[in-house]
Amino acid sequence: MADYFGLPAIAARLGVTKNTVMAWHERQGLLMYPRRKGPRNYWYTNDSLIHVWELARCRAAHADKFQHGRTLRARPKASSGRIVGSAADVGPRWRRDG
């Protein structure tokens, strides 16, 4: 398991820029946290945290795709044009007393 200290190292691991790493951390929940190394703090992550984050993204994408039982279905049949329950259905022509 490799450790990554600092935004440049994390960005190199993910193959993106430092700005993208921070955007992913803020908007998509990239798992990294400040950690002290020597006299200053660095952003830190490791392969395990990145792997867990990627799995969570896959689960979220899968849930979005298949939420609410939404699946591919055949197109609905064309309507006959008559609207049931409309004002056209109510009236004397529907009540024939003869």
Q: What is the CATH number of the domain that holds 30?
A: 1.10.1660
**36 belongs to a structural domain:** yes
The model scores a pTM over 0.85: no
The count of domains in the chain is 1
The kind and range of the H/E element at 56 are: helix 47-65
**33 belongs to a structural domain:** yes
**89 belongs to a structural domain:** no
35-72 pLDDT, tens digit per residue, is 988 888 999 999 999 999 999 999 988 887 777 655 55
pLDDT of residue 62: 84
Task: For residue 38, give its domain range.
Answer: 3-68
